[in-house]
Structures are given as C-alpha cells and as structure tokens.
Structure 1
Amino acid sequence: MSEGRIIQSVARALSILELFESSSTELSVTEIANRLDLSKSTAFGLINTLNHKGYLEQNPRDSRYSLGLKLLRLGGLVRKHSILCRKARPFLEQLVNEFSETVHLAVEKNGLVVYIEKIRGDKAIFMQSDVGAENPMYCTGVGKCLLAYMPEERRERIMRQMGPMERRGPNTITNLDDLRSELANIRVKGYCFDDEEYAPGLICVAAPVCSVGGGVVAAVSLSGAKAGIPSKKLAEVTGRVVEVAGKISELL
C-alpha cells in the first residue's frame, strides 16, 4: 500500500513523542535533537509547538520535557511515563500502605475502562486489571464513576453501544434504566461503590479525578475481598479514596 505524501514536520513531531516509548521519562532539547539527527533550532520549534498544544510538558526545574496529559484526553494510553500516573502514584501507594488492598487508576477509551496504573496490596486477590487491560464500564467501580461524570450525550452514546450487559457477579446491573439511576446517585454522593458487581466476593470504592477545567479525566479505586473489608471499615476506606482522588485533581 502506498504511503502517499508524508508531511515531514508532522512526522518529526510524532517521532519526538515516540522517543518516550523507551525508558526515558524526560528529555532535553539537545537530547531530542541528537537522537533524531535534527538541528537544535528545528527540534526546539517542534518541541515548543508540542508543549504549547499540551502534548509535552516542561519541567520548570531543569527545562526537560515529558509527555503531556493531552495524550490521555485524545485516548492515547500514556502509561508509566504520563504526567497523570507520575503525579498519582505516591497517593496510590499511600492507599495501598494503609489498607493493603489493590489500587487502580483508570481512564475511558472507546467506551471501555483502561487501567493505566495498578498497585497490588498484601491482601490482593486476582483481578483482570493489569495495566493496559480493558474492562466493561457498567460493572466496574472505576467504569461507573467515569460514566457518571461524562457529558450526558457521550454517556448515553456509550451506554447504547454497550450491547447486552452480562451478569458478572450477584449484584451486576443489567439494564440501562437501573444503570442511569445508579449513575445519578454517584453524582450526588461523589463516589462509586461496586458491591459484587464485577465478580462474586469482590467490592470496590472509586472516586473521580478532575482536570483543571472540571472535567473528569480518570478514576481512582480501591478493590478487595468483601470478607476482608468489614462494613465498619468501609466508611474509612471511602473517605480516603475520595480524599486521594481530590489531591490528584488538585495537582492537575
């Protein structure tokens, strides 16, 4: 298949972003220019444009660049090198240290939950939620949380496209009217509770992470065995998950 006409400046800009696929989390203008065999002035012009549009972020301490959060908004999966994950991880680790349960950070992509960070606690039970894994939105704590805070038009479009809502656990929501009611309750409470909806014996508390404009860009959750999180401890867990999500939002 013919590639057709290639716009050199666009290709170079994308090549800059692709440099971060390696182990590098931050790069200087000189490093980027050398790796791509560009003049420093050409590299700076491309980098400055990417930074202005939000695809790169400059560290004010040393003027080095890292991937920007704009990539997440466009559905690109920015994993361990992303601003969001790097800023969130210390707070996620606090939750794991406090409760010894599994903590997730997730975003929505193409109508599914995509996990961009996961830290397992000492009490962790098996879940299909490794970084990069996808899960349905209607039966997961992070998924319901993300759905609840979406613009209504987008939320309804995603729900219409979900197809049959398979029962995964004893309390899975399996019809759209019940799901709409649940999402309205989440918006009132400010957090989401999954009580054996994703899997038997598994519970989860999730809360939204907001961007500077107020839109929800991710969700934080703590998941564990229902038998391991007694009801008297659930209020403490919920409060801390909401608090952590709020702190991450402030950083963004």
Structure 2
Amino acid sequence: MANPLAAGRRSLRLIEHLAEYPYERSFSDLAKAMDLSGASLTRLLKMLMEENWIRQRQSNGRYTVGYRTLQLGDALRSFGLQSAQVLQSAQVQGTVANLAYQTGHSACIASYHGDCFVLLAKTELHNCYHFIDVFAPNTDWIQNGIGQFLLAYQPKADVERIYRDIFGLEVPQEHLDGFETIRKTGLLVRSEGAITRFVMGLDQQGSGIVRNVVSVAALNAHPINKTEVLSKLEFAAKKASSGLAGRPFTPVEQPET
C-alpha cells in the first residue's frame, strides 16, 4: 500500500524544486533531482498537473509551477510573506506530520510576524483539534499558548504595544511572570478549555532569539501521555530548527501606503 505521507513529501519537494529553479525542467532533470524511477515520477507529475500545482509546456515538454502555486504565491506576497516562507512550510511539514502521528494529536509550527503570528505548517488528525488555516493571521496572543510563548521572546516595547493596541490593556504582572518562566524553561504546557497545549521554541541560530515554535494541541477527551508528547516535541523542535536554519524566518514589513 502506498504511503500517503511519503507521497505528500515528494509532492512538496517537487513543487519546491520547480519554484527555486529559474528555468523550466525536463523530465530527466526532475528524475535525477528527485531520485525517482520514471514510472514513479510520471505518476507524481500527472497528479500534480491534474490539480494545477504544476504544468507542462506543450512547446518543449518541460515542467514549471502551475496556476495554483502562482496563486498561493500571490496571496502570500499580499500578506507580506516572501517565497522563502512558502518553501519553509514545505521543509517543515514532514516534521509536523511525524510529530502528529507519533503523539496521536494535532501538531503545528508557527512564526512571529509582528502584530500577528501565522502557522507555517500543520497536521490535523481525524477527530482531533483543528488549527486556524496556514498563513492566516492570528492575533489571539493571550488565550493561545503559542501567542504567549512567542511574546515571551519579543522586546518589551513590542509586547506592551501589542497589548495596548489589540486588547487595550497594560501587560498584567502575571503575564510578565509567565514570560519569564517560559524563557527559563523553553517550554509551555497549559490547559486551554478542551485542549492541553504543548509549545516549544525553535532557536535555529543558537542566539536565544525565538520567532518560531512547534506545538501539539491534545484534546483533553483523549488520553494524553505528557512524557511521551514532550519527548517527541523536543525531537521535533531539534529537527525543525535544523530544517529552518538555512532560511531563518524574518518578518517582512508591509509597505506604507
């Protein structure tokens, strides 16, 4: 039986390869780059072309990105994200999927983006927690543990501005104390209504600056092995940190209008 996770990874790798390469690619170029047999590559190309993620030039038979990939790029650019962030989501999706399947709970990777945070990748298991859409701006800084974790590593002036502009509040002392605990432990585990959220930072530069996190959201109605979740989360954090190291996430400021 075909492994859907492996097939998904191959699809993302192929789209990433076409997006990074400045020219159209031949079948033989792709077979070599992907290390796939002719039959396997043919099936993969056919599937992606049917979904309009890639397209084939009728004039020369070469392949390039398709309408849906270009549409996604336009949407992300309008939000202020560069192509590097799009490729990051492909790079870390495998790590997120493994984390979800190993723990039995939904998982994601999120990034700080100024006044909001966004998910770079997510895997939601059947009958498990559902996250906000990937790349959708989220300003739930207080109720969402991901938001609290990310704020713990931002400059105090930025945190005060976010609380003031979005919530009309001064930063409560208990939140400042919570930020200090997060920085000391590098971890946040807390109950949020129907779920227990586990959050760990990704310090891909070894600088102590955290703009990315990996998180597991476990429904409290399901069995939760906290020791196992934390072990898998730590492994995923190391894996994702190395995957993002080549392209550290840097928020792109929207131009003034």
Please tell me the residue identity of whatever aligns with 2:174: D
Q: Which of residues 238, 243, 252 in structure 2 aligns to 1:246? A: 238
CA distance in 2, matches of 1:175, 1:201: 26
Q: Secondary structure at the match of 1:227?
A: coil
CA distance in 2, matches of 1:76, 1:211: 22
Contact persistence 2:103–2:232 (CA under 8 A): no
- Following superposition, the deviation at residue 195 of structure 1 comes to 0.9
Contact persistence 1:207–1:220 (CA under 8 A): yes
In structure 1, the partner of 2:175 is 179
The answer as to 2:136 corresponding to 1:133 is yes
Contact persistence 2:103–2:228 (CA under 8 A): no
Contact persistence 1:139–1:194 (CA under 8 A): no
- Following superposition, the deviation at residue 191 of structure 1 comes to 1.1
- Following superposition, the deviation at residue 119 of structure 1 comes to 0.8
Q: Which of residues 220, 224, 229 in structure 1 aligns to 2:218? A: 224
In structure 1, the partner of 2:187 is 191
- Following superposition, the deviation at residue 210 of structure 1 comes to 2.2
In structure 2, the partner of 1:170 is none
Q: 1:145 to 1:126 in 2, by over 3 A?
A: same
Q: 1:193 to 1:164 in 2, by over 3 A?
A: farther
Alignment of 1:146-185 (within 5 A): 146-164=150-168, 176-185=172-181
Q: 1:246 to 1:154 in 2, by over 3 A?
A: farther
In structure 2, the partner of 1:122 is 126
CA distance in 2, matches of 1:121, 1:29: 36
CA distance in 1, matches of 2:117, 2:85: 19
Alignment of 1:1-252 (within 5 A): 25-31=18-24, 76-77=80-81, 82-127=86-131, 129-135=132-138, 136-164=140-168, 176-196=172-192, 200-212=193-205, 214=207, 215-230=209-224, 233-251=225-243, 252=245
- TM normalised by structure 2 equals 0.59
CA distance in 1, matches of 2:125, 2:200: 19
Post-superposition CA distance 1:157-187 (Å, at most 9, x none): 323323157xxxxxxxx96211111111111
Please tell me the residue identity of whatever aligns with 1:226: N
Q: 1:229 to 1:148 in 2, by over 3 A?
A: farther
Please tell me the residue identity of whatever aligns with 2:97: E
- Following superposition, the deviation at residue 79 of structure 1 comes to 8.0
* Larger RCO, structures 1/2 (Cα 8 Å, 6+ apart): 2
Q: 1:107 to 1:235 in 2, by over 3 A?
A: same
Q: Secondary structure at the match of 1:212?
A: coil
- Following superposition, the deviation at residue 100 of structure 1 comes to 2.2
For structure 1, which runs of at least 5 residues remain unmatched after alignment? Answer: 1-22, 33-71, 166-173
CA distance in 1, matches of 2:106, 2:81: 21
Q: 1:119 to 1:163 in 2, by over 3 A?
A: same
CA distance in 1, matches of 2:86, 2:218: 26
Q: 1:123 to 1:95 in 2, by over 3 A?
A: farther
How many residues get paired? Answer: 179
- TM normalised by structure 1 equals 0.60
CA distance in 2, matches of 1:96, 1:29: 34
